[in-house]
Structure 1
Amino acid sequence: MGCRIKTSCRVKSVSSFGGAGYRVLKNDGSEETYDSVILGIHAPNALKVLGAEATHDELKILGACQYVQRDIYLHRDQNLMPRNSSAWSAWNFLGTTSRVFSVTYWLNHIQKIESVRPFLVTLNPPCVPDHVLRKWSTSLPVLSVAAAKAYLQLDQI
């Protein structure tokens, strides 16, 4: 018996198919059935795809995995790095008394880029950096005790 694998498919929903597999409804309206389905998407998106068919365990485990939308900047603004350049590291944390924090990655160090000018990537900057080369947004996982426990249970669903 062969194995059929589909990748890069835009899926609208996944539902049980009479206990004998799963019905996958794609965004283009076509349907296919499979013995097993692996969703390579963030947990909140998986819950949307599963919809009312989500089991108690799926709701509990996937619901504990939250994501937040963040702006990310590739830039050359050294003001987001330690003032003393000898204190620069691959990851540079900037915190405040509030719960808001920022992380700047020093790409020259991480990727062995030989350049006099720094290439920096900052997540959640306190202000828009100077000398921005590129900006994009992505969703990042919210690190929590509940999420850490949920990640350990993913193989149960």
Structure 2
Amino acid sequence: VLHTDRSFLPRAAAAHASWNYVADPQTSKVAVTYSMTRLQGLPDAPYLVTLNPRSEPRGILHDVTFTHPQFDAPALAAQAELPRLANTRCTYYAGAHFGFGFHEDGLRAGYAAAARAMADG
């Protein structure tokens, strides 16, 4: 949820950070609020993104649901075939789908593709 509700930040302004969290000790649920204002160098208005909000934020600008990929057996089998695509007609492939679907997997695949391309000269 992208919003402008300052109540999702720590009460003390000195405690505001790019990433802020609050945990409910009774349910173990965690809400994370990150400050787009800080992360993107935006003007003073608080542009905040909250994941798993404990209550409905005020000043909602955009609401979207994100999910992480879940790889099933057919996806893992297809993933094992990806290396066969490499170096086909001077084409190199990279992406998070070469790993577990996270940014770091995409970065790792990008480095590997670049190394293959440079080795092929």
Please tell me the TM-score bracket, short chain as reference.
Answer: 0.5 to 0.7
Tell me the C-alpha RMSD between the 2 structures: 2.1
Partner of 1:94: 22
Q: Which amino acid aligns with 1:101?
A: V
Secondary structure, aligned partner of 1:127: coil
Distance 2:36 2:30 in 1: 19
Larger CA Rg, structure 1 vs 2: 1
* TM-score calculated relative to the size of structure 1: 0.42
CA 1:126–1:113 in 2, change beyond 3 Å: closer, same or farther? same
Provide structure 2 residue ranges, at least 5 long, that are not aligned to the other structure: 71-98, 106-121
Percent identical pairs in the alignment equals: 31
Alignment of 1:15-34 (within 5 A): none
Q: How does 1:1-157 map to 2 (within 5 A)?
A: 73-97=1-25, 98-115=27-44, 117-140=45-68
Unaligned runs of 5+ in 1: 1-72, 143-149
**Which AA in structure 2 matches 1:108?**
T
- Measured in 1, the distance between the counterparts of 2:11 and 2:5 equals 12
How far apart are 1:114 and its partner, in Å? 2.1
Q: Secondary structure at the match of 1:136?
A: coil
Q: CA deviation at 1:141?
A: 7.1
- TM-score (ref. length: structure 2): 0.54
Alignment partner of 1:86: what SS?
helix
The structure with the greater share of residues assigned to strand is 1
Count residues in correspondence.
72
**Aligned AA for 2:29?**
V
Name the structure with the higher helix share. Answer: 2
